[in-house]
Structure 1
Amino acid sequence: MISGGIAGEHERIDTPQLFSDEMAAALRTAHAWGRKVTAHAGPAAVIAEAVELGLDCVEHGYQLTPEVAELMARHGTALVPTLLVTRCKEFFDELGVPGWMQCRSLGAGPRHLESYAMALDAGVEVLLGSDMPPFWAFEGTNATVRELEFMSDGGLGPAGALHAGTLGPVRWLGADADLGTVEAGKYADLIAMDADPLEATSAFRGVRWVMKAGRVVRDDRSGWERP
């Protein structure tokens, strides 16, 4: 966490959390171990400093600028926008989140969406992450699917959203030798749905069949019985 956020009562989104030498040490150490680093970060200035030091991914990016978005694109720094976290009043009400936090979160929503558009315009790679429990029932689906819908509607489109939730993160994590495509020798992690996700991201609301590592763990087709 290199900046403040929406959940700290006594901090602002633009409150720095680490000094430059601390960020640099964390990044050098992780990279020396062959690991990537992602950081909770909201404001442009803090993000720019971390990107220059080698940050691999930004979580949230509530207050980007076109210049910082272009910097991220040049350095290959990805963005997990978590659009859901600034437009989820139903979730906050369900959890009894205090009014000050709801105000800060939901109030950041318009600027958050503008930042996301700046990232897309600059060619920043965006990846899926909801900042809510991914399985959480929300607005007629779950948090993961709703986040994908927001990402798609915000300018990414259905094909881009599909990539952001599948092959994009796989490649960012360096796991494409085992995941991401349907090939012999890779893990058989597959889903099936009623509609085409390349036509509309809402197709993910109709997932009916799931295979994990070659084993069917969900099958909602009528007449099917688990052995």
Structure 2
Amino acid sequence: MKQIVNLHFFLELFLLFQEKLKDETKTIQQIFGNLEDQVAEFFKLRNLEVACVKLEVGLFNREHNDQYKQGMVDKENQEKQHKAKETDQDVDYQPYLEKLDDQTNISAEQAVALKEECLNDFRNMLLHRAQVIQRQFEGANENLRRKTQWYNVMRDKLTSEEEIRYFEELNHMKFVLQAFIERLERHRELSYYRYAAMARYLQSHPKLQILNRKESRVQTFSCYNCEPTRAIV
């Protein structure tokens, strides 16, 4: 009789142990499942941040430009009225998200077409931004050319104060031109990474998960030829 009681006790203990193991396994699966979702969401948001930057940087902020920092800080007040702001806030990625949100249960062919459409729109946006910077550079270069011509005509008639003011304006114009050149070069350098980040974001989007079941090749963003002309010095 005592042996039967012991067997019953061990059976209950075994069943309880088995139940706890199942609970532990279920808990571990939930933890790792949530962790995988969080990591996937983090990488998706990170790709979106790289593709569509939301930072505001002073275009002529010499504190971030070591090449011009030395000896230029004392002129900051004179140049405040000429400062411009370079911002990527006009990079609106909402249209890409809306295109994805409108899609439900799409086929592999539709997913490929939707991804290509989003990437083409994003590529065109990058090209447009480069063209805007190029036009700004050309306008500043033309202003410098006219200012130089004006000085060549008027140099014998200028007072000492006017000549000093001219050279101050000339130095600022040259600084602005160099800033546009560096801005364009930086935009060109970052365009490849932003394009690749957008491609990764689209590839990982839940609406386009069907693409992950097929072999897909990420396009290479061929940067455009948009070299600024040499400034007048």
* TM-score category of the 2 structures, normalised to the smaller one: under 0.3
TM-score, normalised by the number of residues in structure 2: 0.24
TM-score of the superposed pair, with normalisation by structure 1: 0.24
Q: Which has the larger radius of gyration?
A: 2
Q: Which structure exhibits the higher relative contact order, with contacts defined as CA atoms closer than 8 Å and separated by 6 or more residues?
A: 2
User: Which has the larger strand fraction?
Assistant: 1
